[in-house]
Structure formats: structure tokens, C-alpha cells
């Protein structure tokens, strides 16, 4: 099976072109095996680039633990780059089908290769039942959450997948690796949740680290950055255009009033190879 390793701001996945490859058997187990950083190719998960009846391509995303997720912002940028660079659909605006629906992406090629991608991520989902979470409020803004004997005030947003955002004065390993891991499986989130920790720098800039559902800490999370920008705006902490600094790189988020969230960031192809099946 031919694969391509790609990353968006360090959020790395193994991509399989299902226009050419035919997968059978246990795809979840394949995702676990190929994502293993010691015994496989290594990555935050596996993403399949598939034919679509309603878009230029369809994205299926599997976390490193084999669970299938609805959406990945960094991943969908890389899908757009692959679709353009490899000649599946060579045009400046691409439609990619995801678990969130069909998203419109604008690509910015240089010398025939895409370097940056702007994504219409759709409108944020703020209704508690649709996120989903059992925490009170709709929207769930600055609500107390008990974790490991401590109280945190969180804001919950879905960008097609669920996010729990906590604003802190300092982002520490304990918060991300210990508290984030427990937030993921907290009973208040029936489908588990991604846990973001945000330090506000100014009204137009923030730092972020994330514990991702099914993958652990990752270098970046596009949907998480979008959800965190929305959460910052709902809490009166951020303006509607924000630069987000993540361990793997920077993303620019925009949320016009009563509209979709837009995310702009890099997409990088690293290498290709063959995986024995």
C-alpha cells in the first residue's frame, strides 16, 4: 500500500490515496499499526483520501488509537494540498467531504505546489446537546468542571468534533498531560472530548496546547484552534481575528459575526513509501 506522510503545523498523519489504493480488512487496526511511532510509520493517525459523489474528494480520519473522528482541520488542509499537488483536482478552490459536511478550501500554490490553505470550517456548534456535553448552559461558557479534585472553568465548542477549552495563566505539562487526559474521558463528555489549554497574549494573539481525543498531545489541532478562538470571543477575551501559536507552528483564525470560522495555515508533504499488507 502506497502512503504519504504529511503534516499541518506539526500535526502529522499518514495519508492513503484511495483513488488508487483499495483497502480491505480492519482499517482501524491498520491505523493503529501505521501510526505507531516505534513500530510503524508514525503519526497522530491515518487519513484516507477517497472519491466523493458530492465533492472533489472525501476525507476519512482515524486517530492513532484506531477510533474514527469526524474532522481534522490540519488534516483537511493536507488533503487539499495532496488533491491539488497530485493532480486529482487542480483548481484554486476545492470542496472536501468530511464528517462535518462538505468544506470549501482555498489553496495558495507556489511553483506549482500548495504551501498555505484557507479553510471555511463552518459555523461553530454551541448547543450543549450537539457538542455533546452534559455541562449546564447553551452555550456552555465559563462553566465549572471538577477534574482530579480541582475546579476548572471551561467553555465547550464543537467544530464538527467536540472541544473543551480552558484559559490559564501558564500552560504546563501537568495541565496538558495529566488534566487534559482526564478531561478527554470525563463523564460530562459522552463521546469524549479534545482538551485545549490557552494562554492569552493579547486580544489578537494566543498560545495553545492540546490533548487530542484518541491521540494524546499533538503539535497542533486545527479544529481545536478554531474552537479556542470562538471560546475566547465568547468570553470577551479575543477579537475576531486571532493568531494562534502552537508547538508545531502558527494558525490564523477568523470568526466574522454570525458566520463560519476561517482557518489559514501551512500544509507540508514529507515523504512517501510502501506499507506491507
Helices (H), the chain: 27-35, 73-85, 173, 180-184, 222-234
Write out the three cell numbers for 236. Answer: 470577551
Q: Per-residue pLDDT tens, the chain, 277 aa: give them.
A: 999 999 999 999 999 999 999 998 999 999 999 999 999 999 999 999 999 999 999 999 999 999 999 999 999 999 999 999 999 999 999 999 999 999 999 999 999 999 999 999 999 999 999 999 999 999 999 999 999 999 999 999 999 999 999 999 999 999 999 999 999 999 999 999 999 999 999 999 999 999 999 999 999 999 999 999 999 999 999 999 999 999 999 999 999 987 999 999 999 999 999 999 8
Residue with cell 490557552: 198
Q: Compute the half-sphere exposure of residue 161: CA atoms within 13 Å on the CB side of its CA.
A: 27
Contact 91, 28 (CB under 8 A): no
- Reference 217, options 176, 165, 248; nearest CA is 176
Helix (H, G, I), strand (E, B) or coil at 107: strand
Give me the residues paired with residue 199 across strands: 207
The fold for domain 2-117+266-274 equals Diaminopimelate Epimerase; Chain A, domain 1 (3.10.310)
Distance linking the first and last C-alpha atoms of the chain = 7
Helix (H) or strand (E) holding 253: strand 249-254
Q: Which CATH number fits domain 128-259: 3.10.310.10, 3.90.1150.140, 1.10.510.10, 3.30.420.40?
A: 3.10.310.10
Neighbours of 247 (CB within 10 A): 15
Separation CA 124–CA 118 (nearest Å): 17
Residue with cell 467531504: 97
Chain position carrying cell 495555515: 265
Predicted pLDDT of residue 15: 98
- Helix (H) / strand (E) element for 102: namely strand 101-110
Helix (H/G/I), strand (E/B), else coil: 194: strand
Q: Would you say 154 and 135 are in contact if contact means Cβ atoms under 8 Å apart?
A: yes
Q: Is 2-117+266-274's fold the same as 128-259's?
A: yes
Instruction: Tell me the catalytic residues.
Output: 72, 221
- The SS3 of residue 220 is coil
Chain-centroid distance of CA 189 in Å reads 18
The domain limits of the chain are: 2-117+266-274, 128-259
**pLDDT confidence of residue 24:** 87
pTM over 0.85: yes
How many other CB atoms are found less than 10 A from the CB of residue 179? 21
List the grid coordinates of 14: 499518514
Q: How far is CA 13 from CA 59, 100, 183, in A?
A: 12, 19, 24
Across-strand partners of 3?
273
Cβ-proximal residues to 30 (8 Å cutoff; 6+ apart), any chain = 23, 46, 277
Cα separation, 154 vs 145, whole angstroms: 7
Amino acid at each position: 500500500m502506497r502512503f504519504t506522510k504529511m503534516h499541518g503545523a506539526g500535526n502529522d498523519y499518514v495519508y492513503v490515496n484511495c483513488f488508487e489504493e483499495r483497502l480491505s480488512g480492519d482499517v482501524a487496526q491498520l491505523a493503529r499499526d501505521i501510526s505507531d511511532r516505534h513500530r510503524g510509520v508514525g503519526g497522530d493517525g491515518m487519513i484516507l483520501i477517497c472519491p466523493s459523489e458530492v465533492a472533489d474528494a472525501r476525507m476519512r480520519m482515524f486517530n492513532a488509537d484506531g477510533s474514527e473522528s469526524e474532522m481534522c482541520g490540519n488534516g483537511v488542509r493536507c488533503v487539499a494540498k495532496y488533491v491539488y499537488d497530485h493532480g486529482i483536482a487542480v483548481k484554486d478552490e476545492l470542496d472536501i467531504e468530511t464528517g462535518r459536511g462538505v468544506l470549501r478550501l482555498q489553496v495558495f500554490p507556489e511553483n506549482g505546489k500548495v504551501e498555505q490553505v484557507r479553510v471555511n470550517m463552518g459555523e461553530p456548534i454551541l448547543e450543549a446537546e450537539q457538542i455533546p456535553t452534559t455541562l449546564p448552559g447553551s452555550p456552555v461558557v465559563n462553566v465549572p468542571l471538577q477534574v482530579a479534585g480541582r475546579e476548572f472553568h471551561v467553555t465547550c465548542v464543537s467544530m464538527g468534533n467536540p472541544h473543551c477549552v480552558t484559559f490559564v495563566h501558564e500552560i504546563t505539562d501537568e495541565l496538558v498531560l495529566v488534566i487534559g487526559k482526564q478531561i478527554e474521558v470525563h463523564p460530562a463528555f459522552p463521546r469524549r472530548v479534545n482538551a485545549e489549554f490557552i494562554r492569552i497574549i493579547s486580544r489578537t494573539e494566543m498560545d495553545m496546547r492540546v490533548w487530542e481525543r484518541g491521540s494524546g498531545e499533538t503539535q497542533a489541532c486545527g479544529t481545536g484552534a478554531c474552537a479556542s478562538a470562538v471560546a475566547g470571543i465568547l468570553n470577551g477575551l479575543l477579537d475576531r481575528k486571532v493568531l494562534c501559536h502552537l508547538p508545531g507552528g502558527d494558525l490564523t483564525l477568523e470568526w466574522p459575526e454570525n458566520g463560519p470560522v476561517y482557518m489559514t495555515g501551512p500544509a507540508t508533504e514529507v515523504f512517501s513509501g510502501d506499507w506491507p499488507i
